[in-house]
Amino acid sequence: MSQTLQAVRGMNDILPDEAETWEQFEESIRDWLKAYGYRPIRMPLVEPTPLFKRAIGEVTDIVEKEMYSFEDALNGEHLTLRPEGTASCVRAAIQHKMLHAGPQRLYYYGPMYRHERPQKGRYRQFHQIGVEALGFAGPDIDAELILMCARLWDDLGLEDVRLELNSLGSSEERAAHRSALIAYLEGHKEQLDEDGQRRLYTNPLRILDTKNPNLQALVEAAPKLIDYLGEESLAHFESVQQVLRDAGLPFRINPRLVRGLDYYNRTVFEWVTDRLGAQGTICAGGRYDGLVEQLGGKPAPAAGFAMGVERILALWQESGGVAEGHVPDAYVVHQGDAAARAAFRVAEGLRAHGFSVLLHCGGGSFKSQMKKADASGAPVALVIGEDEAAAGEVSFKPMRGGDQRRIGMDDLASELAELLFAADGDDGGV
């Protein structure tokens, strides 16, 4: 016998029980995004490799070691499974001249790919909701992006999520900080790990983002970017904070928050929880004013964030949010050829009225079919035997109390609506 095949390590099947929770989450997400006027955009999962090198930065974890890159066997093109969405979204906006029509509020949702060590909350295929506001320069949009996250946590009832905030300033301010940082790190060169040694001159800011516990003290005492910010950057940062204070949203300024992607400037933020162990960042983002120009577009400011869907769902489940499985409105039981044909007509007729109907397939005795009807949770079984089929009727059998009765097929929809309405009233509505 041949060996059974398994999914690729770090890439998960999402089975029906869980997928129903995903769908319920996706529904709330759509309403939430609409409430803020963000519009959907869908980009390909595969992009030219140079897009990510240019956008995310050559000397970052993602580009150095996490990308699924390959050569197209047919034409030799260098391609990559997208590790994130901002680069693709900006590429699409430039390619389709979307900013000619003014600023754009956009969102996307889908799988991302990073070759990381799989563990709880960290996968090789994971999902992000990305929100990008292109063409907006002011601190108001930074604040809107942050406040809208807070609203989603509230909608979902997520607990223990806190906001960390920092400003990365302008590229000139970062350059001044960079010189000071290099001088400081040179003084402690022997303490740096391999990544640190390599990045000392290429991307020292990344060293501040290290997860190596041995480097934490060194990094803690390093020159802080926030001390190098000029007046304009500070004023921008202050305005963002003012809106958050006005909204009563608590935050903590974390001078070590630098983000793992090179395109950020000014405001950066992360939403973090202690409830998920080591993988506690559920959402991260900030301003990236240089990216549109860097990818070949007419210069335009921008800001956005991405949230990790697996981590948010884990926290949602922690906080008691689990979707109820789908329950059909009716289960159709039938026996005999004429009844089988009538059953199809009945089921389709009800679906045309908007009901969800499970039609028994695969035969079996009435008794075994009734067991299935019961297990489906449907409030009513519609039973069709030879008699009913000949009379153009259905036996209407409420599953949770109530009399069984014969009903003409034409009256079925209104009868079912009445039963469901009454049931809704009993549990105070759905």
Chain residues that interact with ligand ATP, rule: CB under 6 A: 84, 114, 116, 121-123, 126, 128, 260, 279, 281-284, 306-308, 310-311
Task: Tell me the closest approach of the beta carbon of residue 301 to ligand ATP, in angstroms.
Answer: 20
For ligand ATP, give the closer residue by CB, 32 or 331.
Answer: 32
Cβ contact 45:51 at 8 Å: no
Task: Tell me the closest approach of the beta carbon of residue 17 to ligand ATP, in angstroms.
Answer: 20
Q: Which of 343, 342, 280 has its CA nearest to residue 311? A: 280
Dist. CA 430–CA 407, nearest whole Å: 26
Distance of CA 334 to the CA centre of its chain: 43
Q: Which of 182, 188, 161, 165 has its CA nearest to residue 256? A: 165
For ligand ATP, give the closer residue by CB, 122 or 224.
Answer: 122
Task: Tell me the closest approach of the beta carbon of residue 164 to ligand ATP, in angstroms.
Answer: 11
Dist. CA 247–CA 12, nearest whole Å: 38
For ligand ATP, give the closer residue by CB, 211 or 367.
Answer: 211
Tell me which amino acid residue 115 is. H
Task: Tell me the closest approach of the beta carbon of residue 233 to ligand ATP, in angstroms.
Answer: 21
Dist. CA 310–CA 314, nearest whole Å: 6
For ligand ATP, give the closer residue by CB, 57 or 121.
Answer: 121
Torsion of CA 81, 83, 84, 88, to 10 degrees: -30
Task: Tell me the closest approach of the beta carbon of residue 238 to ligand ATP, in angstroms.
Answer: 25
- Which residues lie below 8 Å from residue 197, measured CB to CB, with a gap of 6+? 189
Task: Tell me the closest approach of the beta carbon of residue 106 to ligand ATP, in angstroms.
Answer: 16
Dist. CA 224–CA 184, nearest whole Å: 11
The number of residues making up the chain comes to: 430
Q: Between the CA of residue 185 and those of 178, 192, 222, what are the distances in Å?
A: 10, 8, 8
Dist. CA 346–CA 42, nearest whole Å: 39
Dist. CA 379–CA 401, nearest whole Å: 9
Q: What residues are paired with 330 via a beta bridge?
A: 357
Task: Tell me the closest approach of the beta carbon of residue 211 to ligand ATP, in angstroms.
Answer: 7
Task: Tell me the closest approach of the beta carbon of residue 168 to ligand ATP, in angstroms.
Answer: 14
The residue whose Cβ lies closest to ligand ATP is: 308
Task: Tell me the closest approach of the beta carbon of residue 303 to ligand ATP, in angstroms.
Answer: 14
For ligand ATP, give the closer residue by CB, 148 or 420.
Answer: 148
For ligand ATP, give the closer residue by CB, 310 or 393.
Answer: 310
Task: Tell me the closest approach of the beta carbon of residue 212 to ligand ATP, in angstroms.
Answer: 13
φ, ψ of residue 97 to 5 degrees: the values are 50, 40
Q: Which of 320, 344, 326 has its CA nearest to residue 334? A: 344
For ligand ATP, give the closer residue by CB, 161 or 378.
Answer: 161
Q: Is 111 helix (H, G, I), strand (E, B) or coil?
A: strand
Dist. CA 163–CA 254, nearest whole Å: 10
For ligand ATP, give the closer residue by CB, 302 or 389.
Answer: 302
- Which residues lie below 8 Å from residue 374, measured CB to CB, with a gap of 6+? 381, 399
For ligand ATP, give the closer residue by CB, 13 or 231.
Answer: 13
Q: Is 122 exposed, middle or buried (0-12, 13-18, 19+ CB in 10 A)?
A: middle
For ligand ATP, give the closer residue by CB, 33 or 284.
Answer: 284
